[in-house]
Amino acid sequence: MAITHHSTSKTIAVAILTGFNKHYFIFRSYSKRAKNKFEEADWLGVQALVADRVRCYDDRVDECVTWLHEHYPQQILDETLWKSIKTDFIALLTNHKQPELAETFFNSVSTRMLDRSYYKNQYIFVRPAIATEYIESDEDSTFKPFYPDNNDLSPCVRNMLLHFNWRVPFTDIDKDVTNIMSTIQKEMGPWPFDEFNLHIQMLQSAFYRNKCAYILGQIINGNESYPFAIAVVHDKKGGLKVDAALLNARSIAVLFSFARAYFLVEMEVPSNYVNFLRAMLPMRSKIDLYNMLGLQKQGKNIFWRDFLQHLHYSEDKFILAPGIKGLVMSVFMLPSFPYVFKVIKDKFGPNKDFDRDYVRGKYLLVKKHDRVGRMADTLEFSKVAIPRDRCTDEMLNELREFAPSMLEENDDYIIIKHCYIERRLKPLNIFLPKANAEQRRDAIIDYGQALKDLAAANIFPGDMLFKNFGITRFGRVIFYDYDEIEYMTSCNFRRIPPAPYPEMELSGEVWYPVNKNDVFPEEFGTFLLTDPEVREVFMAHHAELLTPEFWQEKKDHIEAGLLDDFYPYPDSARFEIDGDPNYLREGADA
C-alpha cells in the first residue's frame, strides 16, 4: 500500500521530535553529573561537562538530518510537505515539557533540508506555537517554598542549605545561617513582616559553574519580593561553606553576564526556570537567561525573533562599526540595535597566516571555554538575510571587497552566509581618549586585571592591543577578538637575550631566533604603553605582566592541574577571605 502524504509528514514529525527528545535527555545528563563533580571537587570535570555539552545540540541535529536523508531522500525536498510536517509537529507538542526548545530543534533540522531563502517562514517557527507559561513538571515543581514559624527565616535558610543532599557536609552550618541572616538584615533592614505571606521560594536545582554551586530564589514578604543568590564552595577543611549571599538584583545579574561560562542546571521544564529568573532579574532578557542555562540555541532563536521585530519597527541603516578596521573581520552594526555583526574576510591582513576554518575554531574554543567574565559570548549564524534597503553603500562595498564569498545579493535582500553576532561594547582605544582621569585609570587597571584573569583561565589573548578589548556599561573590560588567542600551555614565554653588541639593539633587527608560539612579554610595553599617563597607571598595578616569569608561573600552575578561583561578585560580599571573617566589613566592588 502506498504511503500517504499525511502519514509521511507525521512520520517525519515524529522522527524530528524523537531526535530532540534524545538531545534533551543527553543535555540533562550533563547537568545531573555536575552535582557529583561538585561533591568530588572535580573542577576539571565540571569544565569538561560544559565544553562537551556545547556540541551536544549540533550532533543531534546532524544525526536527525542524516536519518531523514537516508529514509526520505525525496520527500524532505518537497517544500509543500513541510507545511504538513510543521502542523503534525505542533500536535505532538501537546503536554510536552520543552516545547519551545523542540520548536527550535525543528527549525534547525528543517532549514538544513530546504533551500534557505529565508522568506518561506511558514515552514519554520518564526513565532512560538506553544505557550510555555503554565507547564507543570511531572517530577518536582520548579521552586520549593519554605515557610517560617513566628516570622523567623533562620530555619528556612538552614533547610535550604540542606535541601540538595550534597554528600559533603557543611563544616559549620550554624555559622553559615548566621552569616546569611546578617546579610539579609544589613541589606534589607528591619522589615514590616507580613504575618500571612512571609516565605522563601527557592529553585529546586542548584546552578553549578567553576568551583561553586549557587542557590537561587526570592524572599516573599507580602506583596514584595527580594531576589537572592547563595554561593556554596568547598573550604580548606574538606567541607562546604557559604562564601557569599547576594541580595540585590544587580549583583545577581552579574552571575548571568554574557562574558561568563554557562551554568549546569538540571531542569525538566526550562521555561519555568527562565520565567522565575526573569521575575527575579527583570534587567536580564530571555536571550541572556536561556544562554546562561546552556540552552544557547534557544537564546539564538529568541534573538532572531527580536531582531526581525526590531527591523520591522526601526528605520536606521546598517553601517560599519566605528574604530580601527580589523585585519580578519569586517564588522558592521545597526546603530539602534545593541549588537555587532562580524564577518570573516576572504583575505586577511599581513602577518595573519591562517584561514577561515582556523578562525572559526578559535571562536568555538571560546564557546566551550570558561570565559571568567572576560570574553564576550557570540551567536553564530549562517545565511543571515538583511533587507537591502537597510544597508549603507559603505557597508555593502566593504563586504563586496573583503568578503565576497560570504555575500549573496538579490533585489530585496543581501544574505550573509556566515557571521558572528556579539553584544556591542565600546572599544577601549576609543573609550580611553574621551574618558576623564578617574575613568581612564580604572579602565587601565581593569585591562591589566583582565589579562591576569585570562592567563589564569589558560587563555593568552595574542593581540593585546586596546582595540581588541571593550568596556561594558558597568566599566568592566572584556576581550572580544579571538583570531589570535592561544592556550597558555601552548605558548613559550621567553626573556629577550642580550644583544651581542650594543649597536644591534638600535638596528631594528632581531638577533635571536623566534619560533611560532614564542612570546616575549618585555615587548608588550612598546606597543601598549606609548601614552605616559597610561604607562604610569599600568606599571603601578601590573608591571609583572611585562615579565616572562609572571606568565610562566601561570603556565606551570595550569599544567599542574590547578585552577584559580574566580568570584563573579566583589570581595565585600564574601563572608571570609583567607579564613578571616569578612561579612561585616565594607569593601569596593571588583
Give pLDDT tens digits for 146-202: 998 887 889 999 999 999 999 999 999 999 999 999 998 888 777 667 677 889 999
Active site residue 578: no
Helices and strands (DSSP H and E) totals, the chain: 19, 21
Beta bridge partners of 413: 387
Distance from C-alpha of 303 to C-alpha of 297, rounded to nearest angstrom: 10
| Continuous H helices in 413-547 | 428-434, 437-456, 502-507, 524-528, 532-542
Distance from C-alpha of 247 to C-alpha of 489, rounded to nearest angstrom: 38
- The more confident residue out of 148 and 354 is 148
**DSSP 8-state code for residue 515:** -
Q: What is the mean pLDDT of residues 91-114?
A: 92
Under the banding of pLDDT at 50, 70 and 90, the label for residue 135 is confident
Distance from C-alpha of 465 to C-alpha of 526, rounded to nearest angstrom: 11
Distance from C-alpha of 30 to C-alpha of 17, rounded to nearest angstrom: 20
Torsion sign across C-alpha atoms 220, 216, 265, 159? negative
- Name the residue type at position 73: P
Residue 280, all three cell numbers: 527575579
Distance from C-alpha of 372 to C-alpha of 450, rounded to nearest angstrom: 9
Distance from C-alpha of 38 to C-alpha of 212, rounded to nearest angstrom: 7
Backbone φ and ψ of 102, nearest 5° = -65, -40
User: pLDDT at position 511, please?
Assistant: 62
Query: Which of 294, 29, 266 is closest to 142 using CA atoms?
Result: 266
User: pLDDT at position 258, please?
Assistant: 80
Q: Give 367-398 as a DSSP string.
A: HHS--TTTB--EEEEEEEEEEGGGB-HHHHHH
- Name the residue type at position 5: H
Distance from C-alpha of 386 to C-alpha of 412, rounded to nearest angstrom: 9
Q: What is the mean pLDDT of residues 11-21?
A: 96
Average pLDDT of the chain, as a whole number? 87
User: pLDDT at position 75, please?
Assistant: 82
User: pLDDT at position 270, please?
Assistant: 95
Tell me the CB-side half-sphere exposure of residue 221, using CA atoms within 13 A.
12
Backbone φ and ψ of 13, nearest 5° = -60, -45
Residue 59 CB contacts under 8 Å (≥ 6 apart), including other chains:
none
pLDDT at 244 over 70: yes
- The more confident residue out of 145 and 526 is 145
Q: Which of 31-35, 192-196, 370-374, 491-495 has the lowest mean pLDDT?
A: 192-196
Distance from C-alpha of 220 to C-alpha of 201, rounded to nearest angstrom: 7
Catalytic: which of 377, 446, 453, 481?
Answer: 377
Q: What is the mean pLDDT of residues 434-453?
A: 93
Residue 298, all three cell numbers: 534557544
Query: Which of 89, 125, 138, 91 is closest to 269 using CA atoms?
Result: 138
Would you call 412 helix, strand, or coil by DSSP?
coil
pLDDT at 579 over 60: no
Alpha-carbon distances, residue 79 vs 74, 84, 115, 119, 294 (angstroms): 11, 10, 9, 13, 32
pLDDT at 2 over 60: no
Tell me how long the chain is: 590
User: pLDDT at position 509, please?
Assistant: 66
- The more confident residue out of 511 and 440 is 440
Residue 356, all three cell numbers: 577561515
| Continuous H helices in 314-423 | 356-368, 393-402
Distance from C-alpha of 319 to C-alpha of 478, rounded to nearest angstrom: 23
